[in-house]
């Protein structure tokens, strides 16, 4: 069904509809590829979306989420093979595995960080993007093979993103509470 939906979206794109419809069709293709776990195709269409609408933070964010998914899974598989606990450092346990993962994941990690920076430039209070920034820095820290200072700096940066995420979530919740309170507030009439 996903393949047929992609065909339909492509037909819309081929018709060269107004820009907004083209953007929605390209996003639709990207999203379907993402759901089908065809990450390279999804990223291609999200990149097309950024060309059509460079001010939309969502495609940049989506590319970063894909990058994290593609780096996290193989790293976790290798950590499991080595019997590492969550807080154990990969480079300390097996530098060869670390080097292999670094070669495989480094460019995607950097692409993810770059796309999250763009996302946050466009929407500074995007707490989900901040949360993924934390995750990407943790990915990077774990493939800092033999560079303990950089490993530690990346973990510190990741922790800072956790703090930023929590601060934004708290501010949003307080604003929602305030607005909800205003909705229930009934201004007294002169007779009251």
Q: State in Å, rounded, how far the first CA of the chain is from the last one.
A: 62
Single pTM value for the model = 0.85
Q: HSE-up of 15 (CA within 13 Å, CB side)?
A: 13
Q: Per residue of the chain (192 residues), what is the pLDDT tens digit?
A: 777 877 777 777 777 778 888 898 899 989 999 999 999 999 999 999 999 999 999 999 999 999 999 999 998 888 888 888 766 777 666 788 889 999 999 999 999 999 999 999 999 999 999 999 999 999 999 899 888 899 999 999 999 999 999 999 999 888 877 777 666 555 555 665
Closest residue by Cα to residue 105 from 60, 151, 136, 146:
136
Q: HSE-up of 14 (CA within 13 Å, CB side)?
A: 6
CA 66/CA 36 separation, integer angstroms: 12
Rounded to 5 degrees, what angle do the CA atoms 129, 135, 141 make?
135
Strand spans (E) along the chain: none
């Amino acid at each position: 069904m996903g393949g047929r939906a992609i065909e339909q979206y492509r037909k819309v794109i081929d018709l060269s509809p107004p820009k907004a419809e083209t953007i929605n069709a390209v996003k639709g293709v990207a999203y379907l590829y993402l759901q089908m776990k065809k990450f390279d195709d999804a990223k291609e269409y999200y990149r097309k979306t950024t060309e059509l609408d460079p001010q939309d933070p969502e495609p940049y964010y989506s590319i970063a989420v894909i990058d994290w998914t593609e780096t996290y899974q193989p790293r976790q598989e290798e950590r499991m093979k080595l019997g590492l606990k969550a807080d154990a450092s990969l480079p300390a346990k097996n530098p060869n595995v670390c080097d292999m993962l670094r070669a495989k994941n480094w460019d995607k990690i950097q692409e993810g960080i770059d796309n999250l920076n763009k996302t946050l430039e466009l929407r500074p209070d995007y707490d989900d993007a901040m949360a993924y920034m934390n995750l990407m820095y943790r990915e990077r820290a774990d493939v800092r093979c033999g560079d303990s200072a950089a490993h530690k700096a990346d973990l510190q940066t990741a922790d800072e993103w956790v703090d930023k995420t929590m601060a934004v979530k708290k501010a949003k919740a307080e604003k929602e509470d305030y607005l909800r309170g205003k909705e229930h507030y009934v201004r007294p009439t002169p007779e009251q």
